[in-house]
Amino acid sequence: MLTINVAVLLTVIVILRLRRRTQSRSRNDEKLTVLIVLALGVLIAPTAVGHGILDFLTQLANGFSRAGQ
């Protein structure tokens, strides 16, 4: 039996969609990409990977705010 992690599947879909040329995308296509990315964020957020990404972005933002002072 094959099980597919939905977050991994959405990650692959996002990567494939973002590799396409920007000029060839319609407004509906861009909206669909945004919805897929939001769904991926909801799936990743409560996991250890999501917490690691949040910690990294927090440290990055703190570094930028200290550099600006």
Inside any domain, residue 30: yes
Q: What are phi and psi of 25, to 5 degrees?
A: -95, 135
- What average pLDDT does the segment 25-40 reach? 86
Inside any domain, residue 3: no
- What average pLDDT does the segment 33-57 reach? 87
Inside any domain, residue 49: yes
CA torsion 25-15-53-61 (nearest 10°) is -40
Inside any domain, residue 55: yes
The model's confidence at residue 65, banded by pLDDT at 50, 70 and 90, is confident
Q: How far apart are CA 39 and CA 10, in angstroms?
A: 8
- Please check the confidence at residue 2 and state whether its pLDDT lies above 60: no
Counting the structural domains of the chain, the total is 1
Domain with 31 in it: 9-63
- Please check the confidence at residue 68 and state whether its pLDDT lies above 80: no
